[in-house]
Amino acid sequence: MGIQAYDWHGVMSVTALIGLLFCPLAGAMAFVITYEEYSHHHLERRIVIERSLGAAVVTMLFFGVLSVALAVLLPRLLG
């Protein structure tokens, strides 16, 4: 019995699925954490929400790009 080849399409699909599931979760957590921290500084609520939404978007983009890069690079690194 030889070593079986990996199902790279499956690996990429699972990586993309993990990214789709956890990017919104990471964004929501970044929003909550940032909102809690900025709300302690007595800023206007609008400013706190804007900055928290910005942190959430940046976090979602970071993890989205990371999951896509991982899906593309993982087969090449392990292959």
Q: Where are the alpha helices (DSSP H) in 1-40?
A: 8-39
Residue 69 contacts residue 18 (beta carbons within 8 Å): no
Residue 78: half-sphere exposure toward Cβ, Cα within 13 Å:
13
Q: What is the pTM of this model?
A: 0.78
Distances (CA, A) of 75 to 3, 11, 63: 16, 8, 19
**pLDDT tens per residue, the chain (79 residues)?**
444 556 667 777 887 788 888 999 999 999 999 999 999 988 899 999 999 999 999 999 999 999 888 888 877 777 6
Q: Give the residue extent of every domain in the chain.
A: 20-78
Residue 79 contacts residue 6 (beta carbons within 8 Å): yes
